[in-house]
Structures are given as structure tokens and as C-alpha cells.
């Protein structure tokens, strides 16, 4: 993994902690949450305060995430909002933490100027010992305070101030006044500078979890289902109408269609869809060439075309299907019949513009593992696992490509691949001749249902 780390493709954008004051604050918070301390003087932390160096020191990558279901966090600075979340067990965790920081940025800025803020994403499940237990997770609430209890103390001080103002003998209560003065020394002026954090809770309807080999749970859709990475027979009964595994391609395609979650790339507005398909084809060629021990260091598109011709008889069905689509789009070739059982099918889709677009693109990335760019962008946990088993030739190519093509313009690449333009209401949209009426956006799935 050293090449990924060197290029900032792994452990990138972490926050460096090298100040003795911040290290001391971190240790106080760590002991407050876990009873442990670190001997590290310099380390890096993610959005939750997790440090890979400390995880290695403690021999526990989940030292802030007990049993993978109780995510605790340590905030030293509001700059952590831009950091990634390492060892994520739930797809919603980073978004929850980021929203909490953004919604309380002013208060957290004031609090972290004097102390670390420690907290937890609280839910009613403490141990996910069976897949079914994951469905008990309905809502995530955030509890947070400084290690010295500034927020709780400020709340108590506020209540005492109200008593002082409203009780008839408040002005003469020497004990009350003395307690207020003592608390104010710890909290500052809570009237002019409130330190209360917003009470926030988040629904947990649609999410991915890393537990039990990986599972996508869609409860907040018209037709609920769970999609598991393992054989569904090994998962057991779940409290949801349908359970599919990644081999149930037609069922997954129908699920995505019925819930209106995806759209064909060729139908996407404002993108060069043929260029996106060409790139996916290049990734597939690179994978085949790597298996044949070809040197892919610095490989260009021209090199990959040459290798594609050289190994044309070994290119998989997914490449053949994408090539047929490109011929239709660019050369007025015949429309290819690509049903949900075709290896190229999910490579031709992306999430529609809806609140769970990231989750759907994550699922599509796992269904299309040869598209290394989408896998890296949308599903880093699966990407890193796959990377460990790739031949060295493919690792070299992938690291070089991501560093050269993706790192230079992350936002632009994401917008091109997954962004959505606002519809043009004034000008009617012109489609390619009769595409949808001929085969429907879901191919044989929709036609069969009809």
C-alpha cells in the first residue's frame, strides 16, 4: 500500500497533530472515552479523530469504534470536517460527523480553542452480532462535550442564571451567586458567548455497512430490499421484504428501476457519455494486460488501444458490450441488446439525482469492479481490498492513473461522472432516435415486467 500512501491516495487529507498542547488534549479525550493514552508525539487524525499511527500502537483499528457500531470521536479543530473517515463501518458516519461540525462550527471553534471535544454517535445497538440486529438501527444521535464538561457546565450555569433572574430572593442568595461565579470561570460569559451545541439526530433508513461482508440496506424507498456481498443464504432471515446478493443481477436491476434510482450514462445530460464509456473500456483492457504481465507504467490511451488489439480475443464480455454501445453512439451502429444479465449492464448506469445518489453509486461500483476510478471514488473500502490482490502491473497503472488524472481535479471528475445538470425547461430535449421506446432504459427487465 506504500504507493497509495506516497501519492496521497490512502490516508490523504488527514490532519497532522504535532503540537504538545494538542497532543495533551487528545490524550485527555482519549482517556475520557476509552481509558487509554498514546505515547505518540506526532500523528494524523481523520474526521472522527481516529489516527492510523495510534491504531497501530494500540493494535486496535477500532479503538474509537467499539465493535464497529459505536463510533466515538475526538475533535481538536473544525478543520477535521474536510478529512476522510478511515475504517468506515457505515456509509452514513462521515456525513453525520461533517454535518455536526458544520452546523456547530462557531461553537466548536470556541470550544476547541481551549480543549478537545469528545463525543459519540449514539444508537440503540451496541453489538451487531447478527445481520438482523443491524435493522434495529433507526436513528443516530450525537452526544458531545469537552473533556472538562464545558457544555454541560454552561447548561447548568444558564439554568442558575435563570433562577437568579426570576426567583424573588435570587439577588440575596449568596450560595447561588458564588456557584455562578465559580462556573463562569470555567465557561466564560455564556450570555454573550453561548457554548451550547445543537441537539442533532439523523435517520438511518438507507445505508451501507461493512459488517458481515458488506450490506446495502434500502428501507426508505417504495420497494425496500437489502443487497449483500456474501451469499444471501449465509446471511439468514432479515426483517425486509427482499434480500439479494451481488449475483442476483436481474433482481438488483429491477430493484433499481422500480425505485427510480439510476439512469443510463448515455441518457445523462451535460456529459460526454461516449468518452466515459471509452475510459471504462480502457480500465478493462488494463486489467487484462496486467494479468498478461504487460508493463503498464505510464500507459497512455494509445498504448491501451494497442494492448486491446493485441489481446482482443481475451477481452471480457463487459468490454464487448461497452464497445457495441460506443459504436452505436459514435458510428450509428446497431443498438446492442444489453440486458441486466449482460456483464456490461451495470457499467452503463449511474445514480439519478436523489438524496441516496452516493449510496447507489457505491453499489454500482461494487457491481463493476473493473472500473477502478469509480471503485476508488465511491467505495474505498472495497478498492483497498481489491488492490491488495492485484498483480503489481495493475497496481502501478492504477496508482499512476489516479495520481495523474484524478488527483489534479477531484471535484471536476466527480461532477463529470456523477453530477447532474438542472433540466432545461425552455428548450425541449432531443433524444437519439427512439432509444427508450425501443428497449426501455432497463432492457429486458422492464419489458419482462410489462
DSSP string over 133-193? GGGG--EEEEEEEETT-HHHHHHHHHHHHHHHHHSTTGGG-HHHHHHHHHHHHHH--TTTS
How much is the average pLDDT of 429-443? 38
What is the predicted pLDDT for the residue at 165? 66
Q: Is pLDDT of 430 > 50?
A: no
What is the predicted pLDDT for the residue at 219? 96
Q: Could you tell me the three cell numbers for 194? A: 453561548
Residue 447: which pLDDT band, with cuts at 50, 70 and 90? very low
What is the predicted pLDDT for the residue at 110? 82
Higher per-residue confidence, 420 vs 325: 325
What is the predicted pLDDT for the residue at 424? 44
User: Among 53-57, 334-338, 430-434, which range has the highest average pLDDT?
Assistant: 53-57
For the stretch 11-29, pLDDT in tens is 989 999 999 999 999 999 9
Domain ranges of the chain: 2-147, 205-247, 248-449
pTM, 2 dp: 0.84
Nearest to 346 by CA among 324, 327, 370: 370
What is the predicted pLDDT for the residue at 192? 46
For the stretch 92-138, pLDDT in tens is 999 999 999 999 998 898 889 888 999 999 987 888 889 999 999 88
For the stretch 187-226, pLDDT in tens is 555 444 456 788 788 988 999 999 999 999 999 999 999 9
Picking from 230-234, 332-336, 373-377, which range would have the lowest pLDDT averaged per residue?
332-336
Q: What percent of the chain has pLDDT over 70?
A: 84
Q: What percent of the chain has pLDDT over 90?
A: 64
Residue 153: which pLDDT band, with cuts at 50, 70 and 90? low
What is the predicted pLDDT for the residue at 197? 83
What is the predicted pLDDT for the residue at 330? 87
Cβ distance 216 to 227 under 8 Å?
yes
For the stretch 283-331, pLDDT in tens is 999 999 999 999 998 888 899 999 999 999 999 999 999 999 999 988 8
Residue 166: which pLDDT band, with cuts at 50, 70 and 90? confident
Q: For all residues of the chain together, what is the average pLDDT?
A: 86
For the stretch 272-295, pLDDT in tens is 899 999 999 999 999 999 999 999
DSSP 29-98: HHHHHHS-----SSEEE-TTS--HHHHHHHT-TTTTEETTTEEEEEES-GGGGGS--TT-SBTTHHHHHH
Please give the radius of gyration of the chain, using alpha carbons only, rounded to the nearest integer: 26
Cβ distance 206 to 356 under 8 Å?
yes
Nearest to 387 by CA among 396, 378, 297: 396
Q: Is pLDDT of 422 > 60?
A: no
Phi, psi of 228 (to 5 degrees): -115, 150
What is the predicted pLDDT for the residue at 434? 38
Task: Please write down the HEC assignment for all residues of 251-274.
Answer: HHHHHHHHCCCEEEHHHCCCCCHH
Enclosing H/E stretch for 24 = helix 20-34
Amino acid at each position: 500500500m506504500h504507493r497509495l500512501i506516497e501519492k496521497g491516495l490512502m490516508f490523504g487529507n488527514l490532519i497532522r497533530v504535532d503540537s504538545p498542547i494538542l497532543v495533551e488534549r487528545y490524550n485527555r479525550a482519549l482517556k475520557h472515552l476509552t481509558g487509554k493514552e498514546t505515547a505518540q508525539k506526532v500523528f494524523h487524525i481523520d474526521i472522527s479523530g481516529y489516527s492510523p499511527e495510534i491504531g497501530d500502537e494500540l493494535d486496535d483499528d477500532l479503538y474509537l469504534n467499539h465493535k464497529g457500531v459505536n463510533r466515538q470521536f475526538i475533535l481538536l479543530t473544525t478543520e477535521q470536517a474536510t478529512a476522510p473517515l478511515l475504517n468506515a463501518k457505515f456509509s452514513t458516519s462521515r456525513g453525520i460527523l461533517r454535518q455536526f461540525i458544520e452546523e456547530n462550527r462557531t461553537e466548536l471553534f470556541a470550544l476547541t480553542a481551549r480543549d478537545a471535544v469528545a463525543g459519540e454517535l449514539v444508537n440503540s445497538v451496541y453489538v451487531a452480532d447478527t445481520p438482523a440486529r443491524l435493522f434495529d438501527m433507526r436513528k443516530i444521535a450525537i452526544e458531545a462535550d469537552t473533556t472538562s464538561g464545558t457544555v454541560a457546565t454552561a447548561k447548568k450555569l444558564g439554568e442558575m442564571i435563570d433562577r437568579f433572574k426570576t426567583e424573588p430572593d435570587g439577588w440575596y442568595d449568596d450560595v447561588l451567586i458564588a456557584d455562578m461565579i465559580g462556573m463562569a470561570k470555567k465557561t466564560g460569559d455564556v450570555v454573550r458567548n453561548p457554548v451550547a451545541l445543537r441537539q442533532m439526530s439523523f435517520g438511518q433508513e438507507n445505508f451501507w455497512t461493512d459488517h458481515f461482508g458488506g450490506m446495502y440496506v434500502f428501507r426508505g424507498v417504495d420497494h425496500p430490499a437489502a443487497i449483500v456481498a456474501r451469499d444471501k443464504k449465509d446471511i439468514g432471515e432479515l426483517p425486509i421484504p427482499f434480500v439479494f446478493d451481488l449475483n442476483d443481477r436481474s433482481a438488483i436491476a429491477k430493484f433499481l428501476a422500480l425505485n427510480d434510482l439510476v439512469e443510463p450514462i448515455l441518457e445523462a445530460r451535460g456529459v460526454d457519455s461516449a468518452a466515459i464509456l471509452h475510459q471504462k473500456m480502457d480500465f478493462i483492457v488494463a486489467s487484462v494486460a496486467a494479468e498478461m504481465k504487460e508493463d503498464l507504467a505510464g500507459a497512455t490511451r494509445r498504448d491501451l488501444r494497442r494492448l486491446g488489439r493485441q489481446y482482443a480475443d481475451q477481452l471480457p464480455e463487459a468490454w464487448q458490450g461497452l464497445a457495441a454501445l460506443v459504436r452505436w453512439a459514435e458510428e450509428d451502429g446497431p443498438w446492442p441488446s444489453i440486458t441486466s444479465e449482460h456483464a456490461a449492464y451495470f457499467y452503463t448506469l449511474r445514480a439519478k439525482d436523489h438524496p441516496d445518489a452516493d449510496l447507489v453509486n457505491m453499489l454500482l461500483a461494487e457491481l463493476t469492479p473493473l472500473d477502478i476510478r469509480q471503485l476508488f471514488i465511491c467505495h474505498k473500502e472495497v478498492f483497498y481490498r481489491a488492490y491488495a490482490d492485484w498483480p503489481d502491473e495493475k497496481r502501478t497503472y492504477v496508482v499512476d492513473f489516479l495520481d495523474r488524472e484524478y488527483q489534479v481535479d477531484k471535484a471536476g471528475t466527480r461532477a463529470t461522472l456523477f453530477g447532474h445538470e438542472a433540466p432545461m425547461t425552455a428548450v425541449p430535449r432531443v433524444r437519439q432516435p427512439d432509444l427508450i421506446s425501443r428497449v426501455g432504459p432497463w432492457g429486458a427487465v422492464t419489458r419482462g415486467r410489462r
